[in-house]
Structure 1
Amino acid sequence: MMALKATGRSVGHDRVTQQDRRVRDLDRDEALRLLATVSMGRLVFTQRALPAVRPVTHLVEGEDIVVRLDDGSTLTSLMMDPGTPAVVAYEADVIDPETHLGWSVVVTGFAYPVADAEEGHGYAERLPSWAGQSTNSTVRIRPDIVNGFRLEAVPPEAAPSG
């Protein structure tokens, strides 16, 4: 096990410092492409008038994000009025715990239940349950706003000298 300095940095490990890192905004296409490279994220919705967050599995189809809900109460909270889509946010990221480099994408849009049983069954087969639950409702998120950023290392030649 690696020892930690009082700063929380690993001893004997070359680390990227905050000064060696920059944030670069992602365009919509790159953000959705990155989102498609991972299978899990966090669904943000309203439950009893308060914000709620659930980890879920997902896949990206075109610009839509299809998520599997393993918790029946989540679907109930999302679809309070079955004829009205729910406003949700969806976030996924890959951030290295040592260097803090990586990316994060947040999609805000409208969630619709996948009502067609055959289509829903197809998604259930393609979206594994992360929690081992048998509930396999699926929801399609149609993004309105797509934001993302990449945390990148600054090349040594581009870093300001001090």
Structure 2
Amino acid sequence: MLDRMALPATAPLVSRLPARLWIDTQAWAIRRLHFLHRSRVAHHLETGSLGEREALFHLRRNGYIVVARRWKSAKVPGDLDLIAWHGSVLCFIEVKTRSRRDAFAAELAVDSHKQTILRRLARVYLHRLPPPVRPSSARFDVVSVYLASDSGRQPSTHPDFELNQGAFGWE
């Protein structure tokens, strides 16, 4: 419709074709950029976000009281996926999500470097709590979330979870 407004109706079809072709090219480029943006950036972020949300509800079903999600500090890089109380124990929970099961368990992605970052963040979090509220014990849990069905071909409506309580210590 826009190309009709730009050119008089009496203009030959050939002269209107380049304007339409240009508009179609722009539309194709915008669609392609959107597709590339989704496939490169959003897919893994979307998978991780979905896994964290599923883990949050799984933990709540298992008696955890979640008090923080994606907690960050200005002093230490990184974030704590979930912070929750499990009875009288404060848990710092790292969530690892995979779209399907692999030869390696998802929790193996929490290597020594990641553990160091999580320990630093946990210390900052505990230091910010007022002394009467500070827990007598705290631990690090890792939740592995597998989104694929048993066949591994399509996402399942019920993901599989593996909860590793006390996955690593404070040392």
What range is the shorter-chain TM-score in? under 0.3
Kindly indicate whether structure 1 or structure 2 has the higher relative contact order, using CA contacts under 8 Å at least 6 residues apart: 1
Greater strand share, structure number: 1
Q: TM-score, normalised by structure 2?
A: 0.23
> Could you say which structure has the larger radius of gyration?
2
In the superposition, the TM-score normalised over structure 1's length comes to 0.24
